[in-house]
Amino acid sequence: MINFHFDASYVSLPSIFYSFVKPTPVQSPRLLKLNKTLAQELGLNEKLVQTDESVAIFAGNLIPPNADPIAQAYAGHQFGHFTMLGDGRAILLGEHITPDKKRVDIQLKGAGRTPYSRGGDGRAALGPMLREYIISEAMHALRIPTSRSLAVVSTGEPVFRETEFAGAILTRIASSHLRVGTFQYAANWGEISELKQLADYTIKRHYPIEDKEENPYLALLRAVIDRQAELIAKWQLVGFIHGVMNTDNMTISGETIDYGPCAFMDAYDVKTVFSSIDYEGRYAYGNQPYIGGWNLTRFAETLIPLLHEDEKRAIELAQGALSEYAVLFERYWLQGWRAKLGIYNEEADDKNLIKDLLEIMQNMRADFTNTLLSLTFGEMDEGLTNSKAFVSWHKRWEQRISRQNKSSAEITELMKNNNPAVIPRNHRVEEALEAAVNEGDYCVMDKLLAVLRNPFAHLDDQKEYAQPAKPSKIPYRTFCGT
């Protein structure tokens, strides 16, 4: 059996925040994917993780010792509309303490109905669970804070959506599943004392240094704002589009979570949307920084009773903290872009240099990832070199990088370390999922994962996976998987 070291701290919170619930057993679980690297990082015994007992745990058929399975309650603004939610198909087995004393959630996604299922069956289809496995591990390799995927098991049972699918359960790892929506739930349906307990718990678990501040709740707000500004800047720097930035999908820890309708952008376009249900482009690539600020404002609203006893003063403190978001985001965004362009120092016109490049890429529908790779290795696409606007910009860039005391080798190394050779291209992800789900062939997925594991290595076997999909009249669409 898996050597989990559980220590349940979340259940020390008031009972409004969770419900005790056991996973619903499945017929014939089978281990399909195991993240051996992550298992080692968690301090789990590789041999024990692959036993029949461990597979039964991943399937929800066996509750490990000291586990206290719960479903968490939370709320959320979904596409701007506020509603009560909760874990409708996910069950938190417990909090595992790693050998280096880190606390992480062990959650089963697709483990059956809970009190928050809202009429759903609590199950998950195989395709979306494999998709989350691929994308979350790719994000981790890209050095972007994220939940991780430990295992995927098939259930041996069908899942019915618009048609019949094979059922599966994903074991998800996260530093916690605390969300903006958790605080919204407390603010709307709890007492102020319960909101305070939640905030104190969050500070202790994620931001202990802030507990020493004169106003720890204001310090918490500012720390979350900083984490989210950095996270969303990192999304923008690799062309990642989350697809469903509801407040229940914004973690307090600053990790990316929920990989339903997400995807990576090929041709650069700020209006890019992949989600099949985002009809108005609320969560388009170019809107993500704004939505991050909108979500953080909702978080700040929940903390008003804790920020100051005088409501007017509390609002002023919240507004002051929120005003830092745009500044922080731009700082992280500029830092990232300077590195992508081989720039070590700062000049006042750097922002214009970056924006002018993006405008050219937008007008030419240039591939986001490969344009930066071309700059890195000096192998420009013919379409770009035939553009007067790009040629003019390229001269400005060359002049810019010449005004720093760095060798060309140092500049190239900085760019190589910040421009990935590969991203999980949508057509490659679909290719892997189709082979796994329809043919039971996981070789395609395994090879893709191997290529994505070191995106900044720039190896020869990655070049094949760097090519965008062939042009299609049918836009690429992703789905939430529920």
Residues annotated as catalytic (active site), given as ranges: 248
Compute φ and ψ for 279, nearest 5 degrees.
-65, -30
Show the tokens assigned to 239: 């062309």
Which amino acid appears at position 328 of this protein?
Answer: L
Pairwise CA distance, residues 183 & 195, whole Å: 7
CB 82 within 8 A of CB 76: yes
| 191-204 burial: b if 16+ Cβ within 10 Å, else e | eeebbbbbbbbbbe
Cα separation, 183 vs 199, in Å, equals 8
The helix/strand/coil state of 469 is coil
Hey, how many other C-beta atoms are within 10 angstroms of the C-beta on 161?
13
In Å, how far from its chain's centre is CA 323? Answer: 24
- Give dist(CA 222, CA 219) in Å, integer: 5
Q: Can you read off the two tokens belonging to residue 406?
A: 């760095």
Contact (CB, 8 A) for 328 and 226: yes
The helix/strand/coil state of 462 is helix
H helices, E strands: number in the chain: 16, 12
Closest CA to 183 of 304, 80, 68: 304
- Alpha-carbon distances of 218 from 193, 294, 299, 308, rounded to whole Å: 17, 18, 12, 9
DSSP, collapsed to helix, strand or coil, labels residue 300 as helix
Q: What is the three-class DSSP state of 91? A: strand
User: What is the CB-side half-sphere exposure of residue 196 using CA atoms within 13 A?
Assistant: 8
